[in-house]
């Protein structure tokens, strides 16, 4: 991975992480808000229930206190004289109505003289308040205030806890009569209030105000209760406080944060990659266009129909025309009319992976014809155009000039060599033949080698000249309708002496065929000589080379079959090329130039035939050529 892309990856990861943290923070803030809101709602609910409980407490107490207050108005009405018989049923009535009254005591002159019910409270009868040091100062303040006063909860002599409601009674002449003291069963009242509170899902504790005996609890709510001078604190707490961990919500929130951060990170990464790709693409397009523009050869972008879309400087120079006179015109408008059809065929045959090359003539602004070689490929879509073709146009003038020079040089050198070589070979032949007298024994071998080599040199020069003439189109092939069989017989007869050198027998496989072909007799003999001499050359001594004829529907096939070593697979593709030999040492060992098959191919094509071979290494070769059957031979065959 390059430095640039790894930095980009780290940046992407960091931004995703930052995104995750921001989203996570958002989730936590939302959870906090939600938790506060929940807490607020719970507090509101708790407050509402605490108010309800306080209202119950006050209602219960008020009802009881009113009863006691009603009794206080009875005494002045009786001018302070109390008739016990009259009082008893009334006290009973009060006691029964006031559900939490434990006892009611009347203390004229601050001494408890009447007590209802007496049973269980006997110890309080006759109690003189000034004697109770703990209570007397408070009682004195009640008397002085002339107002009823509630105190407690206090531990009662009779056991348990109670509230004491003291009502100072003054007679109509404003003289102090005494106290009415109502003891309220605090334990019972508190139990009832607590049970009501429990039904509402809260727990309550009642303590006198100022006595901070209740430890401050979390989620607890304190309400003050004041009645008839008494001050309490009512603390309410939820019985089952909700656990506020929000684990599910938190997990969901963080899960969403992860997903969103991941998605955003992925989207950013993809966008970044796309932007980089686009940048790279633009850069590579610019590079391509620059290379295209500055290429030393002509370059053209064209449509599938051959319309010119873009041309480079070299192409403009080649045709000596400015780009505006070239663009949007078909390529064939710069070719001679005779080539239009071929050009269209080539353009429409352009396929990916094919060898899309052809020769073409272009005409420049001065009407000069320029031979070019075109190579094309499909580029795909470009700048809105579909299936764009790119064409490489190579000016062939220099190459053709060099080829011509080379041919002319080879031809003239060969020509110059041929005459003296013919003379040398002739002279050596005469000497070796003994025409000029007997050759001294010591010179015989050297002279024979010299003669053989001069003949090989002659053959090479003949082949070279033939090849050059063929290439230059200077060899004239005169086709003449004739019988094929005699030509084959003649070829076998002429080449047997050569085959004898290799102890090979040439054999024309009968029966004679009655086939006529249109051929140049001499040139066909040259082809047969090449195939038969090759077969003999590459066969082992004592082998046989067969010459066969097969007639097909409209052509005849002539095959030369040998029992030689066969042809290597990797040489097969080059065998018809000029100067190609399977083994370079062949030319020294067996003679030959590597031109024979190339010349045979050219000659056969001029005679409208074709050449080929079948060979398996180690199992011999069969070289064959096919020629079209002449009409008359078909007629004859039908007779």
Which spans of this chain sit near ligand ADP (rule: CB under 6 A)? 530, 534-535, 538, 562, 564, 567, 575, 580-582, 586, 592-598, 621
CB of 522 to ligand ADP, least distance (A): 18
Residue 64 or 559: the one with the smaller Cβ distance to ligand ADP is 559
Tokens describing residue 202: 């809260």
Residue 326 or 527: the one with the smaller Cβ distance to ligand ADP is 527
CB 616 within 8 A of CB 566: yes
CB of 590 to ligand ADP, least distance (A): 7
Determine the Cα–Cα distance for residues 549 and 533; give it in Å rounded to an integer: 18
CB of 476 to ligand ADP, least distance (A): 22
The SS3 assignment for 369 reads strand
146: Cβ contacts below 8 Å, ≥ 6 apart = 168, 170
CB of 407 to ligand ADP, least distance (A): 19
Determine the Cα–Cα distance for residues 511 and 518; give it in Å rounded to an integer: 21
Task: Name the residue among 556, 464, 478, 563 with its Cα closest to residue 517.
Answer: 556
Spatial strand order of the sheet with 202-208 comes to 202-208, 230-238, 221-227
CB of 295 to ligand ADP, least distance (A): 39
Residue 185 or 562: the one with the smaller Cβ distance to ligand ADP is 562
| 115 phi and psi angles, rounded to 5 deg | -145, 130
Tokens describing residue 402: 């060099």
Determine the Cα–Cα distance for residues 96 and 389; give it in Å rounded to an integer: 116
CB of 428 to ligand ADP, least distance (A): 22
Residue 399 or 617: the one with the smaller Cβ distance to ligand ADP is 617
Determine the Cα–Cα distance for residues 97 and 165; give it in Å rounded to an integer: 16
Residue 253 or 566: the one with the smaller Cβ distance to ligand ADP is 566
Tokens describing residue 381: 């879509």
Q: What angle do CA 45, 48, 53 make, to 5 degrees?
A: 125
CB of 540 to ligand ADP, least distance (A): 11
CB of 576 to ligand ADP, least distance (A): 8
Measured at CB, which residue is nearest to ligand ADP? 592
Q: Which residues pair with 369 in a beta bridge?
A: 363
For 429, half-sphere exposure in the C-beta direction (CA atoms, 13 angstrom radius) is: 8
Residue 377 or 452: the one with the smaller Cβ distance to ligand ADP is 452
Determine the Cα–Cα distance for residues 542 and 412; give it in Å rounded to an integer: 42
Residue 482 or 580: the one with the smaller Cβ distance to ligand ADP is 580
Q: What angle do CA 215, 218, 222 make, to 5 degrees?
A: 65
Residue 312 or 563: the one with the smaller Cβ distance to ligand ADP is 563
Residue 273 or 572: the one with the smaller Cβ distance to ligand ADP is 572
Residue 103 or 526: the one with the smaller Cβ distance to ligand ADP is 526
CB of 573 to ligand ADP, least distance (A): 12
Task: Name the residue among 550, 554, 581, 564 with its Cα closest to residue 621.
Answer: 564
Determine the Cα–Cα distance for residues 617 and 597; give it in Å rounded to an integer: 19
Determine the Cα–Cα distance for residues 270 and 264; give it in Å rounded to an integer: 10
CB of 558 to ligand ADP, least distance (A): 14
């Amino acid at each position: 991975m390059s430095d640039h892309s790894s930095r980009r990856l780290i940046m992407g990861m960091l931004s995703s992480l930052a995104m995750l943290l921001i989203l996570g923070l958002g989730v936590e803030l939302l959870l906090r808000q939600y938790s506060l809101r929940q807490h607020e709602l719970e507090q509101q609910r708790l407050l509402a229930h605490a108010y309800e409980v306080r209202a119950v407490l006050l209602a219960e107490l008020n009802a009881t206190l009113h009863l006691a207050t009603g009794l206080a108005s009875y005494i002045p009405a009786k001018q302070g004289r109390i008739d016990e018989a009259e009082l008893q049923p009334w006290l009973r009535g009060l006691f029964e109505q006031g559900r939490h009254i434990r006892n009611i005591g009347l203390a004229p002159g601050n001494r408890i003289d009447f007590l209802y019910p007496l049973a269980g409270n006997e110890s309080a009868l006759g109690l003189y308040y000034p004697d109770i040091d703990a209570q007397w100062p408070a009682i004195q303040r009640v008397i002085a205030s002339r107002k009823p006063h509630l105190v407690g909860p206090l531990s009662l002599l009779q056991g348990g806890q109670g509230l004491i409601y003291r009502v100072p009674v003054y007679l109509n002449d404003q003289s102090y009569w005494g106290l009415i003291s109502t003891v309220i069963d605090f334990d019972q009242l508190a139990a009832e209030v607590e049970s009501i509170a429990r039904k509402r899902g809260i727990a309550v504790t009642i303590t006198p105000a100022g006595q901070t005996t209740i430890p401050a609890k979390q989620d607890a709510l304190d309400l003050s209760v004041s009645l008839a001078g008494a001050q309490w604190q009512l603390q309410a707490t939820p019985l089952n406080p909700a656990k506020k961990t929000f684990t599910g919500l938190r997990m969901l929130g963080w899960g969403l944060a992860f997903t969103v951060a991941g998605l955003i990170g992925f989207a950013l990464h993809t966008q970044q990659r796309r932007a980089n790709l686009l940048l790279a693409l633009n850069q590579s397009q610019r590079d391509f266009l620059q290379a295209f523009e500055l290429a030393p050869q002509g370059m053209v972008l064209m449509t599938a129909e051959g319309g010119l879309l873009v041309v480079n400087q070299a192409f403009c120079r080649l045709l000596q025309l400015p780009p505006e006179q070239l663009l949007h015109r078909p390529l064939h408008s710069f070719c001679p009319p005779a080539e239009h059809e071929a050009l269209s065929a080539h353009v429409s045959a352009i396929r990916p992976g094919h060898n899309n090359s052809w020769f073409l003539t272009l005409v420049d602004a001065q009407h000069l014809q320029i031979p070019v070689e075109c190579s094309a490929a499909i580029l795909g879509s470009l700048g809105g155009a579909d299936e764009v073709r790119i064409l490489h146009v190579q000016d062939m003038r220099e190459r053709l000039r060099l080829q011509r020079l080379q041919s002319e040089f080879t031809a003239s050198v060969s020509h110059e060599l041929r005459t003296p070589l013919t003379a040398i070979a002739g002279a050596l032949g005469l000497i070796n033949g003994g025409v000029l007298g007997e050759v001294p024994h010591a010179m015989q071998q050297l002279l024979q080698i010299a003669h053989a080599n001069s003949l090989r040199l002659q053959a090479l020069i003949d082949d070279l000249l033939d090849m050059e003439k063929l290439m230059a189109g200077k060899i004239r092939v005169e086709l003449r309708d004739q019988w094929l069989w005699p030509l084959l017989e003649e070829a076998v007869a002429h080449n047997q002496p050569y085959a004898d050198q290799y102890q090979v027998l040439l054999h024309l496989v009968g029966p004679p065929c009655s086939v006529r072909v249109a051929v140049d007799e001499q040139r066909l003999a040259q082809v047969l000589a090449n195939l038969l001499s090759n077969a003999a050359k590459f066969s082992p001594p004592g082998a046989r080379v067969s010459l066969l004829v097969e007639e097909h529907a409209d052509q005849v096939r002539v095959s030369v079959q040998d029992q030689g070593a066969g042809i290597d697979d990797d040489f097969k593709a080059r065998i018809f090329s000029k100067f190609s030999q399977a083994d370079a040492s062949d030319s020294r060992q067996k003679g030959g130039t590597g031109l024979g098959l190339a010349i045979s191919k050219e000659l056969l094509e001029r005679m409208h035939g074709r050449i080929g071979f079948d060979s398996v290494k180690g199992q011999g070769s069969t070289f064959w050529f096919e020629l079209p059957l002449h009409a008359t031979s078909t007629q004859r065959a039908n007779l």
